[in-house]
Structure 1
Amino acid sequence: MKKLCRKQTTIILSFGLFLSCSNGPGGPGNFAFQGLEFRVEILCDNVSYTVPLNAWKRESSGHDYPGLRGKLTKFIGKSVVEVNSGETVKGYVEVWFGDPRYGNFLESWAGKLEDWNAPPIEIDKFADPPREGRMMFDIRAQVPDMIRSIRVTVDGLPQGKMMTYSGETDLTVPGNRGGALTNGAQVFALQAGDRWMSLGSREFPIPYWTALLEARENDVRATFTSQLWKAYESTWFNTHLWVMEWFPSLDDLVEKHRYEAIETKQALRTFDHRPDAQKWVKDMRLWVILSGRGWLHEVPYDEDFYMKHTYEEMTKRLHDIAKYYDPRKTVLYIPGWEGHYDTITPRYAPDPEMGGEDGWKTFIDTAHEMGYHVVLHFDPWCVSFNQPEYWTVQEGSWHTQFPTMGQGSFGRMSTTNFTSLDYKPWQDIFVERVERAITKYGADGIHIDQANNYRNRNQADMRKYDSQRGFFQAMHRIRSKHPKVLLQFENIVENNIGMSPIFEWGPGDDRELTPLLKKLFYPYVRVVGHLRTSGPHGEGGACFMWDIPQELADSRVKWMKMNNYIPTMKIANAEIDLSTPQSQQYFEWAREFDAKLKKGESLY
């Protein structure tokens, strides 16, 4: 086949589906799915295809399965496809309903792609219908060109309210839309009347997908996209298994997902029984963000970029905090502990201008003697051009418009912006730095910044490297060698909750977190305030580490109380007075939180 101009390829399959269930709660007439219409698109590169559609036929695998009336069946389409150039190529698509891995099958139909005159497909039997009904499907495609993604559009879903782990959307108003992606939870919910439908997947590690629900005049359209990352580019793609399932309540929906996708697949126990949560982690009642130095001092950026605390000042802070709260229940998280911060990624060693190794040793020894535990900030992705490793790790780096050589926006100065942990030289460097912080500099825990960035298609989608695989490998290396050290992550994401019992989170405003997030994750983890949301949030919806949270203590404490965060207090600089009423609110809240847990009150 000759080379054509480079453009996106779209192969389109369309079919109607009628699915009903008469034996769920409510008896006959309680339809689980009704009148759904499906559209499948395979998006590729290099060429544009047009696909003639034909009537569907039923095809059986010839195998019997317990609980299934008849044979295992599948949708299968085979087509002769016309290419823009006039040449003819062959490709095929399979659409399976049911789960061929676990024997839970629906009786289904299949068809050839010759002509599209068939009536809507009807399915009226479930193999083993759970609760109010479940439909599962996956797509398999083989085409001549590299597949980038497979998109499934489902029309005919009922109008209602969409709930994701980060927000809610009213889908009774035509034009309203809401999205979900696997950076958060791999399931989201649609409430229609008094019933709840879960949509998503239950696989682990979670494949990358996005979903968009849009309200139309009389129904809701769902668009699911499964993406094939460049590291695995191929002309063949089998998506993960999509699941749509009805439940009588949100609690039932969450219970099912937690059991099938979290506890079973990740072998995860609840927070109080997690072996990776040491006693001091479970006893923590106050999380103090004690700012080191924010930026390299030679960057002429803004007058607010000044030294926050030297090591001597940080040592004095230990005694200040102890006047008001028990150090044994207090954990200190120190961004800028090495004199830099975040995505300019330093060498991760004590900063000479802050007091050097002697000053750091005095601080860390004093902290441990008093009963504090200390968590140090690390960013696993970005490497500064002023570090010798910069040139070593170019092979595994993704370049955006940066490096900006000190002229860019927040957190992006002088960096490649993303270096994959799947690139072995960088993974070794990063793990060695973490181990040095633990063994030489006394870290009790390591904060992993941007812990969900391996799922960021704009950065992590590299042709040679699987950044999710590299991230998991690096975290496993650290945990296996230092099992008593806390790995503490930024951002709650379902893929990561098996690796960390403490997450930093904050949407950036005063809203309450959704019941879906709390019910799904809070049994397994506890949450601390984000650097940018434990203080005032300005026009950008967040505050940064140089802000003074005590100025807005009333709203910040109220917001984090509402969401049952571990009390989080940010001491931004050496000028903060901990004796003021604003500062005292954080200590009072820590005492209230302690009393709540002693009473056995639920956080979700």
Structure 2
Amino acid sequence: MALHDDDLSFDPRDPYFPVPGGAAHGGVRWAIQVFTTTNGYGLDAASARPEARGDQVHLRCDRYASFGQQRTFAVGEVDVRVTRSGDVLEWAITVAHDEPVKSVKLLLVGLDPAVWRAGWWAPNTGRDITLGVDGHRFQLDYPGPTWATPWVAAGDDAGAVTLSIRDPLVRKHILHVSRPPYADEPITELLHVPAATSRSTSCRIPPIRLRRNASPATIDDDLDAHMSFVERTHRLVPWRSRTDKPDWLDDIALVVTMHGQHWTGYVFNTFSEMAETLRFVSRHIDPRRVLAYLPGWEGRYYFSYPDYRPGADLGGRAGFEELVATAAELGVRLMPMFGGNGVNVKQYPRWEQAAIHNRTNRYVELLNRPDWDGDRIGEGNQVFLNPGEPGFREHLIESISWMIREFGVEAAFLDTIGYWFNDPRYDLLEGYRQLAAELRRRHSRLVLASEGWWDALSGIFPLSQQWLGVSRELRKPRVLTRYARTTSHLAEGTPGPGSTGVHEQGYRPRPPLVDHAGHIPILSFADNTLRDHSEEAVAIIRWARDHAAAVSAG
């Protein structure tokens, strides 16, 4: 859950309008705010005249107001139609302004107090987690770790409500609930952010649906209808019908993370030691059920990005060939890690052509600068690039293809791919789709995995790592498990003290071994894991083996 402390320090005095049926439909009222690249606006209260006709309210407003209603501006118009069908309200919103439209907000008040007291949850919210109880402030951002698909519910018993956005594109949506001092009740906000690649002075918002008086059965029906729309729109295919995964992926019972070289140059495991680790693991589980994940195999982790060749300090080409031969002999599949976005500017001189820009195209987004060397200051050599840019996308394609041609690896992990950016120069999701399509055209049985997942991304990557620090026990796991599988994050701690290996998190205790739907357990090896903590490692391997056998037995 993302918490954002920034807010207005005064009452914007937005005019609120009724829904069809007015008080008979629960007293829900709504307002509109429009944001351009230079300012935010409400509707001029004197110019907004809603007309109610049967099951529809139609509002046209041809004047904006500054927040607080101190000034008005004849710089565009807003058209809103609210339609009622039974317990479902649907908003169709179109706005125009003289300036480019940056975002549009629908504000809702008048929900049953019992609803907001119960709190909110999304399908990917942890099973035991409820947000915004008693109107406490919270925020969900789609697409990302807090909101995997733009559907949410408040309460889960009779009288609950659901909210959903039926967007045919992947664009940023925000749900924000708070009770500012000037409000008598919590305000529920839904923001739509247009794609920066096609921003203009007009914007049509995808349909926003509010279902009231929901029951547990209608909550599930509403979610299923939403996911059916997502399937059609974003080309999601049920797991068993996917053609972008080989049969062996169904049999994977354990992911083994073998950490290579840290950013500082510290070596956790040479390729020879990784081969020894695979032989150790294979004594306790069928090695054909093991996927070996290799972070830091290319040399100094992240520092070497995007120069992808077996690291010299780990054994170079000859050492990697030994590892490949051992894995092939045992039947283990290998999955090297590649940076889906991050590069060292010294290693990739063309970085400026592909650097991710902010949504107004005013500056480069400088993202993800961890402190890898312990001086308590983030490093300054990394920049995030957009695979939508043809040159960088081709570099990734050629790097992965080279590894497949030279060594026969059968999977590739793309780091940070789950992060989404509204880059005005290149559509990020389309870049991911083209990247995956070309790799699969060249290598039809290649498994592509991502860090993080959300609805449309699961249509591209059958396997992902669950976000770091995000619950694996989902409230409605079918939003993931119907289409894809996850495993644990790179930074899951090793047996013993919980080293996160090449990652920047230092030490993190391993979570308990628990069965989570669609989730493949992971076992990580740092420098002393095999030597000092082999008994704990064996216990984890055997748990994964026995759990997989129980699942297979039904």
TM-score (norm 2): 0.82
Note if 1:15 corresponds to 2:8. no
1:70-98 CA distances to partner (integer Å, 9 max, x unpaired)?
Answer: 9x98433223879999996431111133x
Please state whether the residue corresponding to 2:125 is helix, strand or coil: coil
Please state whether the residue corresponding to 2:519 is helix, strand or coil: coil
Aligned partners of 1:73, 1:171: CA distance in 2, in Å?
29
Counterpart in 2 of 1:259? 228
How far apart are residue 385 of structure 1 and its match?
Answer: 2.5
Aligned partners of 2:495, 2:168: CA distance in 1, in Å?
37
Counterpart in 1 of 2:491? 532
Please state whether the residue corresponding to 1:319 is helix, strand or coil: helix
Aligned partners of 2:71, 2:237: CA distance in 1, in Å?
58
Note if 1:500 corresponds to 2:461. yes
Contact 1:162/1:188 (CA < 8 Å) preserved in 2? yes
Note if 1:584 corresponds to 2:552. no
Please state whether the residue corresponding to 1:152 is helix, strand or coil: strand
Counterpart in 2 of 1:429? 395
Aligned partners of 1:356, 1:180: CA distance in 2, in Å?
42
Aligned partners of 1:587, 1:537: CA distance in 2, in Å?
15
Note if 1:79 corresponds to 2:63. yes
Moved more, 306-315 or 134-143: 134-143
Aligned partners of 2:536, 2:496: CA distance in 1, in Å?
16
Counterpart in 2 of 1:248? 215
The verdict on how the C-alpha distance between 1:569 and 1:407 changes in structure 2, with shifts beyond 3 A counting, is: closer
Please state whether the residue corresponding to 1:268 is helix, strand or coil: coil
Aligned partners of 2:245, 2:194: CA distance in 1, in Å?
35
Counterpart in 2 of 1:355? 315
Aligned partners of 2:389, 2:367: CA distance in 1, in Å?
21
Contact 1:567/1:589 (CA < 8 Å) preserved in 2? no
The verdict on how the C-alpha distance between 1:383 and 1:55 changes in structure 2, with shifts beyond 3 A counting, is: closer
The verdict on how the C-alpha distance between 1:480 and 1:199 changes in structure 2, with shifts beyond 3 A counting, is: farther
Please state whether the residue corresponding to 1:576 is helix, strand or coil: helix
Moved more, 414-423 or 49-58: 49-58
Counterpart in 2 of 1:56? 49
Contact 1:212/1:222 (CA < 8 Å) preserved in 2? yes
Aligned partners of 1:342, 1:138: CA distance in 2, in Å?
45
Contact 2:295/2:502 (CA < 8 Å) preserved in 1? no
Note if 1:198 corresponds to 2:172. no
Counterpart in 2 of 1:26? none
Q: Which has the larger radius of gyration?
A: 1
Among 157, 177, 190, which residue is 1:224 paired with?
Answer: 190
Aligned partners of 2:186, 2:300: CA distance in 1, in Å?
48
The verdict on how the C-alpha distance between 1:166 and 1:254 changes in structure 2, with shifts beyond 3 A counting, is: same
1:220-249 CA distances to partner (integer Å, 9 max, x unpaired)?
Answer: 421111113443332222222222235421
1:230-277 CA distances to partner (integer Å, 9 max, x unpaired)?
Answer: 433322222222222354214334322222223x32343332332222
- Residue type of the alignment partner of 1:495: A
Aligned partners of 1:578, 1:526: CA distance in 2, in Å?
31
How far apart are residue 348 of structure 1 and its match?
Answer: 0.7
- Residue type of the alignment partner of 1:277: K
1:501-520 aligned within 5 A: 501-508=462-469, 513-516=473-476, 518-520=477-479
Aligned partners of 1:179, 1:425: CA distance in 2, in Å?
33
How many residues end up aligned between the 2 structures? 518
Counterpart in 2 of 1:214? 178
Contact 2:491/2:508 (CA < 8 Å) preserved in 1? no
1:256-295 aligned within 5 A: 256-262=225-231, 264-295=232-263
Please state whether the residue corresponding to 1:383 is helix, strand or coil: strand
How far apart are residue 219 of structure 1 and its match?
Answer: 5.1
Among 37, 43, 68, which residue is 1:45 paired with?
Answer: 37
Counterpart in 2 of 1:385? 345
Among 417, 425, 442, which residue is 2:408 paired with?
Answer: 442
Note if 1:486 corresponds to 2:470. no
Please state whether the residue corresponding to 2:478 is helix, strand or coil: helix
The verdict on how the C-alpha distance between 1:431 and 1:514 changes in structure 2, with shifts beyond 3 A counting, is: same
1:63-212 aligned within 5 A: 74-79=58-63, 89-97=74-82, 106=83, 126=85, 129=86, 133-158=87-112, 159=116, 160-164=118-122, 165-167=124-126, 168-169=129-130, 171-183=132-144, 184-191=148-155, 193-212=157-176
Contact 1:567/1:590 (CA < 8 Å) preserved in 2? yes
How far apart are residue 432 of structure 1 and its match?
Answer: 1.3
Contact 1:199/1:243 (CA < 8 Å) preserved in 2? yes
Please state whether the residue corresponding to 1:244 is helix, strand or coil: strand
- Residue type of the alignment partner of 2:479: L
Note if 1:339 corresponds to 2:294. no
Counterpart in 1 of 2:515? 561
Note if 1:307 corresponds to 2:267. yes
Counterpart in 1 of 2:3? none
Aligned partners of 2:337, 2:369: CA distance in 1, in Å?
22
Aligned partners of 1:472, 1:11: CA distance in 2, in Å?
41
How far apart are residue 163 of structure 1 and its match?
Answer: 0.8
Aligned partners of 1:411, 1:367: CA distance in 2, in Å?
39
- Residue type of the alignment partner of 1:278: P
The verdict on how the C-alpha distance between 1:58 and 1:85 changes in structure 2, with shifts beyond 3 A counting, is: closer
Please provide the CA RMSD for this pair.
3.7
Note if 1:473 corresponds to 2:434. yes
Among 10, 35, 38, which residue is 2:27 paired with?
Answer: 35
How far apart are residue 279 of structure 1 and its match?
Answer: 1.0
- Residue type of the alignment partner of 1:494: D
- Residue type of the alignment partner of 1:288: V
Aligned partners of 1:177, 1:571: CA distance in 2, in Å?
37
Aligned partners of 2:154, 2:370: CA distance in 1, in Å?
43
Counterpart in 1 of 2:360? none
Aligned partners of 1:356, 1:525: CA distance in 2, in Å?
34
**Structure 2 runs not aligned, ≥5 long:** 1-10, 356-363
How far apart are residue 333 of structure 1 and its match?
Answer: 0.7
Residue identity over aligned pairs, in percent, reads: 17
Contact 1:19/1:36 (CA < 8 Å) preserved in 2? no
The verdict on how the C-alpha distance between 1:19 and 1:338 changes in structure 2, with shifts beyond 3 A counting, is: same
TM-score (norm 1): 0.76
Please state whether the residue corresponding to 1:241 is helix, strand or coil: strand
Counterpart in 2 of 1:544? 500
Contact 2:418/2:452 (CA < 8 Å) preserved in 1? yes
Aligned partners of 2:290, 2:411: CA distance in 1, in Å?
13
